[in-house]
Amino acid sequence: MSLPAVANQKTAFLCNNDYAVLVSENTKSPLWSAEDLTEEQIEAARQTTRTGHFTPDRRLPSSMQVMLSDYHGSGYDRGHMTPSGDEPDTSSQNQSFLLSNIVPQTAALNRGAWEGVESAVRGWADQEGEVFVVTGPGYNPDEAQQTLGLGHIPIPAITWKAIYDPVGPGTGAYVCLNTAKPVCKITSVAMLTQLVHIDPFPALPEHLKAQIASMPPIRQSPYALSHRAGNEKLQKNWKSVAVQKALKALLRSLGANK
């Protein structure tokens, strides 16, 4: 697979045991975090005791460093992009706690809907044997950027997870609002690329990225939507006027209508 395509960013590319990450100097956060997730890896992760402590990534220059103190008292969780629950051994789990793999997330998202997305993707990999996963944040360029800490770490408007299933073959993406009452939506990789200006899978044909695979429902979350491609009956909370207005504003500000 080719690396996700990003334009006009000063970045640092870092390789770890089981995932790679591209960090932006502008946000001091990952633009994307990518993994090749297999059924065997997930089984090994299940057998591995969960461990790990958040730590700055000393491979990065000071201009890209995030410190633990930036999060202290902020009210935001440190949200994994590539999740520790995907990592097959202790060393790899420890690497997933590097702050180069972390963005600010609300507690409601990180501990609810986002866990549901991660669980759904693991279920997909279990079913198919292997999926390629790219995860990242999205920012609202038309509003004053809210930040946290002395490092002025920008807080994403959304976090997203794009998946390529080579067996199907098929693609799709989960997009979640990073709010106190998060809502998640399934969309195409093509639409995601319009939203965040990152193509997670530049080597794939456009027609494959324009379609949405039959994706697993988001699991274990009171905030998340359960949705499969072709199902026109969305859940009631997704139809609410407030949610629709918020999403339309977000899509517009992130460039979906340009």
Cα 200 from Cα 174, distance rounded (Å): 13
Q: What is the largest CA-CA distance in the chain?
A: 49
φ and ψ of 57, to 5 deg:
-95, 105
β-strand partners of 24: 11
Q: Which of 80, 197, 207, 227 is catalytic?
A: 80
SS percent in the chain: helix, strand, coil, step 5 = 30, 25, 45
Cα 119 from Cα 222, distance rounded (Å): 14
**Catalytic annotation present for 207:** no
Cα 131 from Cα 36, distance rounded (Å): 6
Rg (CA), the chain: 17
Is 16 annotated in some ligand binding site?
no
Cα 21 from Cα 251, distance rounded (Å): 25
In DSSP notation, 68-96 reads: GGGTTTSS-EEEESS-GGG-SSHHHHHHH
φ and ψ of 75, to 5 deg:
85, 0
Which residues are known binding-site members?
A: 110
Which residues are known binding-site members for Mg(2+)?
A: 110
User: Which residues are tagged catalytic?
Assistant: 80
